[in-house]
Chains A and B, each alone.
Chain A
């Protein structure tokens, strides 16, 4: 399990360091470094095996069904990166201990750093591409946290979001690419993917896949035109920049190129895309770097340019180019990390990074200066330093490519120019900062930094020198191993040496150095030219585009979700029209085979009444009371229709419900305006008429189509079993309380909940009471007419009798709990109307809530009761008893259930109307008072 431990250790390290808040800085640093160091030792221990050419693998099953496993793999390339990530990581941790000021939280930085380290290790060691993406995105997240470490600064927040957006977007593209890759090959396993180059490159999706993967790589490694996030990531503390922009974050993109080189490279498309992107970035970065006054800005753009160089090398279609690329990865990591650290020191000691202020630092910190200058020289590619060697190889390779056909000579020319620019900005870094007169208005008096703050730089610079002087001795093994992995098992003959004799590359170097120095000395013309150009800031562009996009979205949303219910409703009706109307046209004929029943005069009259009622409701809808009366006519006719078409229960229900509804609406009208203003434009009216009429026609034809077709349904079963199984002759009622009693249970729940909800709405509602009706007449003073009072009072017992009767007969004849309940309710409502709710509440103190609850409870427990007979819920039971003098009566559990229904209905209906009535009486009292 050693492989797994390498990332795991740094993850644990992250956890540990996050808990070292209480400890001293040294302890915390030590603890934090402990685990990465262990990991490094483990890696070193594994190295010989890898050098000898074998690949170490470990796999743990995670989501087999999706082909996602936790799979690690250590080959030459991975090993190289693991060394860089851990090595430089450890140095950075050590360095940060001296860099951070006392009011920066050290554990937080360490925790984030090690989290990031884990992610990087995960990327380079993944043997499953989805897992690779997993860690890839983790780097985006952790770098977000690192860049926004000083979150109080707006530029830190902006930089973080910019980096996250760009790399995150690239990550999405990468995911898509990897999924396609996996689908082409049939596995997400890296070994298999790397082995199946032919399949991939022959596949129709190759181009798409390549572009997507490259998008991932280029965004991460800040290639033009995705480079702009990198300079803004400089808002992070310098140790973070030193880590992210030398060895890790940006190198992840490069790693991706190297990793998939065996599988994806080798086609023209690859070479064109990669090399040209690289070339552009190389030149662009080098050029811009020259004009940056901020040290970190300079380093940022030089990083971009060097990344471009590496990318270009991967794009040159020679094996040696790939080797050179890997070599330059190592070199760039070493000198760039040390340069960032040196910058950190300067910043730390002087309080600024502006080269226009920083001058003559040599006198204040000669030692640091020396280190920095050596590193800068390496960056420039001066002999005896590692940068020189890889640059030589780079130049050599530019000469061997045939990329642009007859114009291929352009590439070495551009390469030389870039080299010159590199020399120029390196020269500027050295000369402007350490010499060039005296410092101007420094915030702090500079001096050498703490002794140990320099140690990491010393180590790195030493590496630069060693590699530069004894290349083969230091670098061969790892370079060979890495190249072996990248080139898929074949390593070309190469010799990394200081001296290749006088040759073209040497000449190019010479030109570069000479030209660079010339450029630097004559830079002021360049600066003038640059100043004449319009300055464009990537940050501003990014912010503006984000802002514009947000605004656009908000406009769109406000246009669409304009909060107009009428629009939403219209949409529903239109969709209904579309869905219901469409298939109608597919039908061969609307009418069915069933022979029609003749129209008799009663039905005709009924229908006529109904229509008149409906139409006049619409016509007079502005006079609300009138339309209310009209609609009640419609309701009445509906119940008549039910009686006519042999549905007595429905008729009764409809009738009673109608009464209650109308009373309710009447009460409501007391609070609402009695008139509807005329506001919808005639256009709107026409539109609505159109919609409603078409909808009416559609529904009508569907209805006609239905009822003119024969139907065999499951109902015969109910008729057959109503008596034998349900013990009742009124099939509808038996269905309600037995066959489909469950529906009824739900139904009374709805009723009960509605009552609760209404109570909830009306309780302590601030009252808005019209003193007069719309005609300006005050509401009647004597509110409770004596006649009505006395009649209703005498009616009450009778009504209760009736409802009891209806309830009892329900099971066998039209009636039942629900209708009975409503009759009872109506009887009580009559009392309310006659006497007012105060009069009632004095006489009967009812808690409707409890009534409703107990009603539902009774129904529910009747159902549960059947469990004790080992039956499922609501299995009914009934039997006949012969009681003397009374005769045979039937007792059915359904009856008890129906009782529950009855009680709920009474409770709910009264609760609704009472709470509303309560309002009215309060209201009118108020009105009487004033």
Chain B
């Protein structure tokens, strides 16, 4: 079993998905909920075990079907990918728990789809094969399409229609990019690709460049990078909040793929094509940050607000990816985990607040007071401080770190003002939203509006996410060590040899 540990984060969600379709889970609600939460917890534990193993014995390469790279498909578990797998599994567990309060019954197959989504995301994180990456992208996409329609209304259908069509085009572009890369490099294993790219001659270089840039289109669409971000606000704001919280990881899949492709394949050692996408990434990222900040100020309801916060975080991450230094990448890794947790928490929070404000829902206007002001208020305060990036929570460490990492760049004088102004916009947007929602009451709490209270499992889920902020700050020391280790691995070109030699 232990030598197959690398495979568990993919196997378990798939098993879960299948089992939950079979009797008794297929029919019995209670058992389905229980099994689903349990299985997602197991997935998380397995991922954690994998993480520890990687920490102990270094990068793990798992050749599926015993066909070693570059011929077969290999899974590559390095500190970065395992960290993200853990994050995904945690998020999956939390959302399963949260949904078990009733959201899961607002449509069919919630849990199987949830596990299939985790399957897709984990697969995308772990696989070392370009085409296999495509397959897992499709897995997570098709799962997300269905989840998006979960308990949906009209607005939902429209958003889903846009989301699906855009992503279908994206998949087509992905295939073309892969075709070009295979047609030039004659291989699909990413490590092997990296090796072959360095040896390219003549016009093949430009073909490979086209392939690489088309991949950027795909990842930018998935990661919501300007100008391909337009689908995100509506999609996330109309999706059921628990689904949106789950989606918090999906933009990160795009960012992660950028990290892999543009530091591994088109990174330091890519000969003619070294850092070919860097300036694109950088400027698009900056534009994205600005756009997100504007969106934050423009948002009229909490979920839109959070969706725009997601956009800002994506921009920040991509900017760091574009810097292409170990320090920047490590900052990105820390910030990635932080932003995923906190945005997910905020989505759930927006849901709970909305439920307690009746008709007003989560709109940022004067309305009836929430029935649990202290609980929700404190949670919002914590999450807000974290997402604004103020002390004492994880956000400020991320902020300090990324500013530090972007200090001695050519364009620091562009990035810093932009980023700081964006932070100010977020500060203003979030604090205004908070004080309006919690303090600005139009009507006294009416008896007719029946007192919805937070369901225990919802509360636990929320607390797990929110506690991430203080914990990430307290344990910032070890975490920063881990992040820097992971970043060093990411930038270490020798890993390619390791992968191709099957992990020895």
Contacts and interface: CB of A to CB of B under 8 A. Distances in A.
A193 to B, nearest CB: 16
A853 B14 CA distance: 10
Interface string B117-151: 00100010000000110011011001101100110
Given A63-B477, A576-B217, 12 more contacts: A135-B391, A183-B408, A546-B428, A579-B213, A580-B214, A586-B206, A706-B184, A743-B132, A747-B135, A749-B119, A763-B108, A864-B11
A895 to B, nearest CB: 15
A161 B431 contact: yes
Interface stretch (A427-435, A625-633, A709-717): A709-717
B476 interface: yes
A71 interface: no
B311 to A, nearest CB: 11
20 contacts: A65-B480, A66-B397, A68-B400, A161-B431, A165-B424, A169-B424, A176-B416, A557-B295, A561-B230, A583-B207, A713-B187, A738-B65, A740-B132, A749-B17, A749-B116, A759-B108, A856-B14, A857-B18, A872-B4, A873-B11
A705 interface: yes
B390 interface: yes
A425 B95 CA distance: 61
Interface in B205-241: 206-207, 209-210, 213-214, 216-217, 220-221, 227-228, 230-231, 233-234
Interface string A524-564: 00000000000000000000001001100110110011010
Given A550-B298, A565-B162, A739 B234 contact: no
Nearest to A585: B206
Interface string B3-24: 1100100010011011101110
Given A64-B477, A860-B18, A579 B214 contact: yes
> What are the 7 closest A-B residue pairs judged by CB atoms, nearest first?
A713-B186, A757-B146, A579-B213, A853-B21, A746-B135, A553-B298, A706-B183
Interface string A129-164: 010011101101100100010011010010011001
B30 interface: no
B64 A874 contact: yes
Given A157-B439, A714-B186, A760-B108, A702 B64 contact: no
B41 interface: no
A750 interface: yes
Contacts of A728: none
A568 B231 contact: yes
A569 B113 CA distance: 27
Interface string A50-89: 0000000000011111101000000000000000000000
A849 interface: yes
B72 A740 contact: yes
A133 B173 CA distance: 47
Nearest to A133: B391
Chain B CB count within 10 A is highest, among A137, A572, A856, A857, for A572
A553 B297 contact: yes
A741 interface: yes
A871 B18 contact: no
A849 B66 contact: no
B185 to A, nearest CB: 8
B400 A713 contact: no
B146 A849 contact: no
Interface residues of B, number: 118
Nearest to A574: B227
A576 B214 contact: yes
Interface string B412-447: 000010001001100110011001001111000000
Contact of A583 (B18, B176, B209, B217): B209
B221 A572 contact: yes
A875 interface: yes
B484 A702 contact: no
B207 A706 contact: yes
Nearest to A579: B213
A68 B480 CA distance: 11
Given A575-B217, A874-B64, A569 B166 contact: yes
Nearest to B440: A157
A98 interface: no
Chain B, interface SS category: helix
A164 B427 contact: yes
B112 interface: yes
A849 B176 CA distance: 33
A713 B182 contact: yes
B161 interface: yes
A889 interface: no
B473 to A, nearest CB: 9
A846 B179 CA distance: 40
Chain A, interface SS category: helix
Contacts of B440: 154, 157
Nearest to B476: A63
A875 B231 contact: no
A750 B14 CA distance: 11
Contacts of B131: 740, 743
Contacts of A172: 420, 423-424
A572 B170 contact: yes
A715 B404 CA distance: 47
B18 A718 contact: no
A582 B209 CA distance: 10
Contacts of A699: 176
Interface in B370-406: 385, 390-392, 396-397, 399-401, 403-404
B132 A571 contact: no
Contacts of B108: 756, 759-760, 763
Contact of A714 (B1, B71, B300, B385): B71
Contacts of A587: 203, 206-207
Interface in A832-881: 849-850, 852-854, 856-857, 860, 864, 867, 871-876
A206 interface: no
B479 to A, nearest CB: 9
A757 B7 contact: no
A148 B400 contact: no
B294 interface: yes
Contact of A753 (B142, B295, B396): B142
Contacts of A61: 477
Contacts of B216: 579
B431 A572 contact: no
A271 interface: no
A757 B113 CA distance: 8
A568 B71 contact: no
A389 to B, nearest CB: 38
Interface in A868-902: 871-876
A144 B217 CA distance: 43
Given A553-B294, A709-B204, A140 B390 contact: yes
B431 A164 contact: yes
A165 to B, nearest CB: 6
A850 B26 contact: yes
B165 interface: yes
Nearest to A65: B480
B400 A757 contact: no
A613 interface: no
Interface in B286-319: 291, 294-295, 297-298, 300
A568 B230 contact: yes
Interface string B24-42: 0010000000000000000
A712 B182 CA distance: 10
Interface string A683-712: 000000000000000010010011101011
A565 B166 contact: yes
Interface in A651-683: none
A97 B280 CA distance: 61
Contacts of B396: 134, 137
Contact of B149 (A754, A757, A852): A757
Contacts of A568: 162, 166, 228, 230-231
B431 A553 contact: no
A45 interface: no
Nearest to B405: A66
B203 A138 contact: no
